[in-house]
Amino acid sequence: MSRTTLVALALLVLAAPAYAADADAATEPAPDYSLTANVTLASQYRYRGLMQTNNKPAIQGGFDFTHSSGLYLGNWNSSISWLGDSNHDVSAPVEMDFYGGYKGNLAQDVPFDLGVMQYYYPGDYPSGFTSPDTTELYAGLGYGPVMFKYSVAMTNLFGFADSKYSQYFDLTGNFDTGLWGLTVNAHVGRQTVRNVSNASYTDWKLGLTKDFGQGLAVSVAYLDTNADRAAYTNSHGRYMGRATGLLSVTKTF
């Protein structure tokens, strides 16, 4: 047997474990869970159409744990100023959201989502101040790119006294254009605030998201509301529900 043949056989023997390992890796089942993180820089923070950072930029981020069964848990956080903007004796610069639920599909293109959300605002508050901390239950049902979501507060809603069982109705659609990674985002929502007649309002949004791949996305949007000025003007004299444009950059890991 020639030296060349021996070398060739040796190379095949050395390479065989690598091919076997690749084959084993290809047949390994997908993991039962995933853990992702995200961070966002936004020109400002709006929630349900209302100003949260007094027209100033916001930094945001969180974590999501998802199990193959459909169970999920998550945390999302943002810089805010609306509590201090409404009362100078309040110091609460951060919103922390904790949520968990179960999602799946009732049929093809018919997703559902059931869960609970806790909005937590750590900080210093004067005596007698109604806590803004809020717990909501939610249920969502979709068809294709459209999702309807209903939320009901099991506590007072964002600092409104005697507002338990306030409701939010959310209709959102995200439509893939099939061009350049662009998705059209459309939304209309209705917030009802129980026992506070002038605090209920409607909000709407139209936007565009560009997916650059590698977990990077840029969004632009136009938002507006019909919120009552008397109910939603902060101590700086700024109307919290006025129309605005919004730019955000998100990276998911």
CA dist., res. 103 & res. 36, Å (int): 17
- Give the tens place of pLDDT for each residue, 215-246: 999 999 999 999 999 999 999 999 999 999 99
- Structural domain includes residue 23: no
Tokens of 12: 């095949």
> In which band, very low, low, confident or very high, does the pLDDT at 7 lie, cut at 50, 70 and 90?
very low
Residue type at 177 in one-letter notation:
T
**pTM for this entry:** 0.87
The backbone torsions φ and ψ at residue 13, rounded to the nearest 5 degrees and listed phi first, read: -65, -45
Flag whether pLDDT at 10 surpasses 50: no
pLDDT tier at 197 (50, 70, 90 boundaries)? confident
d(CA 13, CA 30): 30
pLDDT tens figures, 157-172 = 999 999 999 999 999 9
**Strand 134-143 to strand 110-120: parallel, antiparallel, or no bridges (unpaired)?**
antiparallel
> Within 13 Å, how many C-alpha atoms sit on residue 52's CB side?
24
Asked, for residue 138, whether it belongs to a domain, the answer is: yes
- The three-state secondary structure class of 2 is coil
d(CA 86, CA 46): 16
Average the pLDDT over each of 71-80, 137-146, 228-237, 241-250 and give the range with the smallest value.
228-237
Number of independent structural domains in the chain? 1
The answer to the question of residue 39 being in a domain is: yes
CATH for 104: 2.40.160.40
In a domain, 100, yes or no: yes
Band (156; pLDDT cuts 50, 70, 90): very high
How far is the C-alpha of 111 from the C-alpha of 10, rounded, in Å? 55
For residue 112, is it within any domain? yes
Q: Is 24 exposed, middle or buried (0-12, 13-18, 19+ CB in 10 A)?
A: exposed
149 token code pair: 């979501």
- pLDDT (tens digit, 9 = 90+) per residue, 144-153? 999 999 999 9
Please provide residue 14's backbone torsions phi and psi, each rounded to the nearest 5 degrees.
-65, -35
Neighbours of 178 (CB within 10 A): 8
Whether 18 is covered by a domain: the verdict is: no
Which residues are bridge partners to 32 per DSSP?
none
Residue 19 falls inside a structural domain: no
Query: For residue 164, what are the domain limits?
Result: 34-252
Burial of 228: CB neighbours in 10 Å, binned 0-12, 13-18, 19+: middle
Give the model's confidence band at 29: pLDDT under 50 very low, under 70 low, under 90 confident, else very high: confident
Residue 26 has a pLDDT of: 54
Res. 27 pLDDT band, cuts 50 70 90: low
In a domain, 9, yes or no: no
d(CA 125, CA 179): 49
Compare 47 and 31 and report the one with higher pLDDT. 47
Q: What does pLDDT average to over the chain?
A: 91
Is residue 11 over pLDDT 70? Answer: no
